[in-house]
Structure 1
Amino acid sequence: MRPVLAHLADAETRRSRDVKDAMADQFDLSDDERAQMLPSGRQRTMDNRVGWALTYLRQAGLVDQPSRGRVVINAAGRDALTTYPDRIGMKELEAYPTYLAFRDRTREKTNTDLAREGRDATTVEASATPSDLLALAVATNRSAVEGEVLKAAMTLSPTGFEDLVIALLARMGYGRAGSVERTSASGDAGVDGIISQDPLGLDRIYVQAKRYAEDRTIDRPKIHEFAGALLGKQGDRGVFITTSRFSAGAVQEAERINARIELIDGRRLAELLVTYGVGVQAEETVTLYRLDEDYFESL
């Protein structure tokens, strides 16, 4: 990862594609090596390696992505080049809280999957099977994409973020018999969207969408205000979605009031966006095979 970061040291914004080509030049790869593909045949090996290096650097907060397909080093990244003059690997990235949060999300997802099978991570590390390795790879990929999709959501305009939330709710199946619409553009104070669960709009869920920095906390007063907006519309159900997080007081307020308000923080929002395929694309599908013993016994 250090060669990639060093290539960005001049603070120029570069295309990810150009960074990949530059790394192939720096490592003096032959034409055959540059053309080498992953086993899936869908991506060049070097592109994959550099792409993951950039992903890990972004998760650690050393590189920013100002726009689609473009990357630039930030102040933390420049400091890292001085702090780690020889190598930047996974161990070095553990010095950065945002990377640790990403790593913990990965482990959490892996452990959840293993728990469903009655196993634990210690057993897997001691004797990993292809299925175990695939599960770890999937968890790592998903955690990385969730982190990136949340960052992408935070670059949207307020109305763009509201449109994203409405698209997610529609993809989740809400309003299937009725409609899902954004309302804030028309000045509907306190409510950003309305889900009509039936064609006549008699069964409604009201939506509040707030695009805030990840370190900003939504406190009790915001939930109280949203509850007031619901009351003004004679509603008793709402969804408050944000890119940040809710304080303990906000959670308590949502549980205290008569209306039912579902709180979705940034981490849960990212999980839902990936789960329902909003703002992400499937890259490749892997199939694992096993011996069909019954077939051979029948011969």
Structure 2
Amino acid sequence: MPDRPVVTLDVSVLLRLPVPPSAVKHSATDQTPEDAIETAPQQLNAAVRDELLTLVRRMTPRRFERVILKLPDAMGFGGGDLTNGRLTAQGADDGIDGIIHEDALGLDAVFVQAKRYAENHRVGRPDMQKFIGSLTGEGATKGVFVTTSDFSRDASDYLRRMQLRVVLIDGRRLADLMLTHAVGVRTRATYLIRTVDRDFFDEAEI
């Protein structure tokens, strides 16, 4: 009996893994094996992103702040050196939770604010004003505001009027970045997909 194709075996393994209903766009019977191979990683990644966000929201505020400082390091920011980032004093609550130095001498710094909020608790204008005020007080021009929820329109509109370079990272983008840069995740399996090399059977090549 001939061996079953490797592609069929790999797809069956992938499709048995749980995925959120919202991530399933087509049933397996409507897909070719190639389509299933392409969509299965997207479905799995969607499930991982949802789980990451759930777990991050359960962290203590201080643990969350530490994770937020690990992310720029994983992205290569600050030279990819974790020692170039530090948390501010615990309980200071002055609108700044961490500082990332873009160079070893600390001549250029990015100030970080991290808010571990529930999904329905958006970052509002008061939080944004406090952060902008802290940046101004430090004489800073760059900042990153991270939250596990989202930003209200008032907060975003207020920021747009300021002459500062501030990046906003909401919960969905945070989970995407953690997945992309392998923060809080690990590779469980790698699947090898083989196809026929038709050039190999070309008479001119043999």
Q: Shorter-normalised TM-score: what interval?
A: 0.7 to 0.9
CA distance in structure 1 between the aligned counterparts of 2:110 and 2:147, rounded to whole angstroms: 17
Unaligned runs of 5+ in 2: 1-8
CA distance in structure 1 between the aligned counterparts of 2:50 and 2:146, rounded to whole angstroms: 16
Kindly report which structure 2 residues correspond to 1:180-195, keeping only aligned pairs within 5 A, or say none.
180-185=85-90, 187=92, 189-195=94-100
Matched, 1:150 2:57: no
Give 1:175's match in structure 2, choosing from 56, 78, 81: 78
Q: Which residue of 2 aligns with 1:295?
A: 200
Taking structure 1 as the reference length, the TM-score comes to: 0.59
Matched, 1:129 2:41: no
Sequence identity (%): 37
Matched, 1:211 2:116: yes
Query: AA paired with 1:192?
Result: D
Per-residue CA shift, 1:143-170, capped at 9, x if unaligned?
A: 1110001110011100000011011111
1:177–1:199 Cα contact (<8 Å) kept: no
Query: AA paired with 2:140?
Result: G
1:184–1:191 Cα contact (<8 Å) kept: no
Shift of the alpha carbon at 1:184? 3.8
For the residue of structure 1 that corresponds to 2:146, the secondary structure is strand
Unaligned runs of 5+ in 1: 1-38, 57-89, 91-102, 111-120
Query: AA paired with 1:237?
Result: K
CA distance in structure 2 between the aligned counterparts of 1:174 and 1:272, rounded to whole angstroms: 13
CA distance in structure 2 between the aligned counterparts of 1:189 and 1:257, rounded to whole angstroms: 19
Q: Larger relative CO (CA 8 A, sep 6+): 1 or 2?
A: 2
Per-residue CA shift, 1:49-72, capped at 9, x if unaligned?
A: 5x72xx65xxxxxxxxxxxxxxxx
CA distance in structure 2 between the aligned counterparts of 1:201 and 1:240, rounded to whole angstroms: 20
Go from structure 1 to structure 2 and tell me whether the alpha carbon gap of 1:270 and 1:183 turns closer, same or farther (over 3 Å shift): same
CA distance in structure 2 between the aligned counterparts of 1:274 and 1:177, rounded to whole angstroms: 17
CA distance in structure 1 between the aligned counterparts of 2:99 and 2:186, rounded to whole angstroms: 27
Taking structure 2 as the reference length, the TM-score comes to: 0.83
Bigger mean CA offset, 182-191 vs 168-177: 182-191
Q: In the comparison of the two structures, how many residue pairs are matched?
A: 192
CA distance in structure 2 between the aligned counterparts of 1:284 and 1:169, rounded to whole angstroms: 26
Per-residue CA shift, 1:204-256, capped at 9, x if unaligned?
A: 11000010001111112211110100001100010000001111111112211
Q: Which residue of 2 aligns with 1:274?
A: 179
